Structure 1
């Protein structure tokens, strides 16, 4: 293939990937904290809390980056008997289900799970509000074991139950691992790029997923070559580079507001992330890496970007600029998370 054909294919790949969202549905009885859990998963207050979904006629759909999170109305209610529910909300079109409960596991949830299993859908069980789990004279582990046994009894087989608290964030890291493990690899990457990281391992997975996007966007920017880089005999599509940088920042949740609230020791790094995220800053980075050849690591990305793009003038420069910005965003997010987790960085 030539450069034009590689660029057209790569552009279509990027568009298809953006249009194909990862669809995660949450179901359970009112008061189980589904909206709060959605907000924790994405790391932002995107869902309305306190909504009684059994009395509404529509699902609450939250679009965030590459995720579609669906807060489903109650199953088996007077407004939504089982058959009407299945016809209305078409669970076969969703990728993963989270059964969220905070008290006793309801019969309606059991019935819905059995319907999902018959349709071959994957469902994880999440016992929310762990911080409220208490009974005089009994340990938390004993109460957890009793709840897990009750779930197994009702659904007819042992199932892992994820115990989480949106208030204390306890158990959320394990839930993230469980969600990723239940997804196929391409969807795992979407989840890693879009969901909040609760551990340093999650951040590393996010970086790996973002790096693949860097090669795609950088390749397309180099192939388009619309804007000459001052002092460099090569053109780059700046709109594509700008979009790539914006998506990297969004993946790490580095909003202007969050960066501007950093502690003094992190402000220089935060300022660099903000400054290089502008069109002027991108141009400075491109000039910094002018003449940069693609690294040996590009070999494994040739099937993604195409041989013609990999050999194009400017590809090494755009990749180097993108990876430099990715590294800055990753380091800043890592430093922020370390403070949240109380981890002391070694000198």
Structure 2
């Protein structure tokens, strides 16, 4: 510890440590998300949920059905539990089947103090119609939990098949999410016609996710947005909300103007904001690399020196005192620049381009220079 010219003690400001604390805070802002899958065997339930989260959560089968009973699938680093239900038991009514599925899943989630947050009912577009049993099952499920009706393995969301099925479902007046089905192709597909190959790209998942975020509680919404891997728009929107919230807190910290050498709490708030944005954007990269990149860009040293670096990255610092306006506007400028840098990097990562610490540093420097 050392004293500055004004007699104030300055402790070393550990950017990496504060960044890790911000990640921990972001984790606490999330909550376990419980997802139920239903539909006929082979309807693409596992493929759908794996595509949403960008990793193999549920097994995908070919031929014989994978799921013979209700299975709970989890990954240790992912606050999501997927409950995959089996095919329908003959001799049972739709209401009985729905009641059994819901009661069995609720036995587990209730012990965790949680609930089923939404269900995805999957139906192959190739089936061309929805049987009465399916319609009654969906109606029973939707009466208890938010249920999205997903038309899987669609090759064209504007096809006559989709139009006809939409009309068919409209006529049944099912109480499903947004009162409409969601045509989806969860995985891109290569088609061959007359010796020529056509690649049909993935579609429909972004629309489905937007709809789901509208029915979820705040904590589960944050989990879905940060952990899904298909809708970047949702991530950016949530990240910008963090920026706005942090800017208000920064203004409050400096409501009474504070001298530069006393600005450690503001610096910590800003670094924690970077970490929370990082979690929401959902990089598949070691958090330590991101923390190291931030450290390299803003510099490490005493709280005062780091604060000065942070502030000057976005706005010129006037004098040696920071007031509420400077603190809030600077934090906002830094946050939006960080979001833009993360957005650009994540677009590359989603496209399959590997990124490393140097890429992160370069992106941060470019965006923060623009913010000045």
Highest relative contact order (Cα 8 Å, sep 6+), 1 or 2? 2
Q: Relative to structure 1, is the Cα distance of residues 115 and 64 closer, same or farther in structure 2, using a 3 angstrom cutoff?
A: farther
Q: Secondary structure at the match of 2:59?
A: coil
More strand by share: 2
| Alignment-derived partner of residue 126 in structure 1 | 150
Tell me whether 1:101 sits opposite 2:117 in the alignment: no
Alpha-carbon distance in structure 1 between the residues aligned to 2:279 and 2:228: 10
CA deviation map 1:97-142 (0-9, x unaligned)? 22111143355543332223333x22111101012x7xxxxx9532
| Alignment-derived partner of residue 17 in structure 1 | 29
Aligned-residue offset at 1:211: 3.0
CA deviation map 1:192-231 (0-9, x unaligned)? 33322435x3343142244368679x98xx9xxxxxxxx9
Alpha-carbon distance in structure 2 between the residues aligned to 1:281 and 1:252: 21
| Alignment-derived partner of residue 251 in structure 1 | 280
| Alignment-derived partner of residue 151 in structure 1 | 169
User: Does the 8 Å contact 2:57/2:73 carry over to 1?
Assistant: no
1:38 to 42, 49, 58: 49
Which aligned pairs between 1:232-243 and structure 2 lie closer than 5 A? none
Alpha-carbon distance in structure 2 between the residues aligned to 1:14 and 1:337: 22
Superposition RMSD on alpha carbons, in Å?
A: 4.9
Unpaired segments ≥5 residues, structure 2:
1-21, 189-200, 254-259, 312-322, 354-372
Alpha-carbon distance in structure 2 between the residues aligned to 1:145 and 1:181: 24
Q: Relative to structure 1, is the Cα distance of residues 333 and 164 closer, same or farther in structure 2, using a 3 angstrom cutoff?
A: same
User: Does the 8 Å contact 1:126/1:162 carry over to 2?
Assistant: yes
Aligned-residue offset at 1:41: 1.4
Which aligned pairs between 1:37-76 and structure 2 lie closer than 5 A? 37-50=48-61, 52=65, 54-61=67-74, 65=78, 68-74=80-86, 76=88
Alpha-carbon distance in structure 1 between the residues aligned to 2:34 and 2:244: 21
Tell me whether 1:77 sits opposite 2:93 in the alignment: no
2:237 to 185, 193, 205: 205
User: Does the 8 Å contact 1:63/1:69 carry over to 2?
Assistant: no
User: Does the 8 Å contact 1:289/1:321 carry over to 2?
Assistant: no
TM-score for both structures, normalised by structure 1: 0.59
User: Does the 8 Å contact 1:59/1:73 carry over to 2?
Assistant: no
User: Does the 8 Å contact 2:34/2:83 carry over to 1?
Assistant: no
2:203 to 153, 170, 193: 170
Q: How many residues were matched structurally?
A: 278
Aligned-residue offset at 1:37: 1.4
Q: Relative to structure 1, is the Cα distance of residues 239 and 128 closer, same or farther in structure 2, using a 3 angstrom cutoff?
A: farther
Unpaired segments ≥5 residues, structure 1:
1-9, 134-138, 223-230, 258-272, 294-309, 341-347
Of structures 1 and 2, the larger Rg is shown by 2
User: Does the 8 Å contact 1:164/1:171 carry over to 2?
Assistant: yes
Alpha-carbon distance in structure 2 between the residues aligned to 1:29 and 1:99: 9
Alpha-carbon distance in structure 2 between the residues aligned to 1:14 and 1:249: 9
| Alignment-derived partner of residue 142 in structure 1 | 160
Q: Secondary structure at the match of 1:111?
A: helix
Tell me whether 1:191 sits opposite 2:224 in the alignment: yes
Range moving further from structure 2, 326-335 or 174-183: 326-335
TM-score for both structures, normalised by structure 2: 0.56
Aligned-residue offset at 1:182: 3.2
Range moving further from structure 2, 25-34 or 68-77: 68-77
Tell me whether 1:88 sits opposite 2:104 in the alignment: yes
User: Does the 8 Å contact 1:30/1:74 carry over to 2?
Assistant: yes
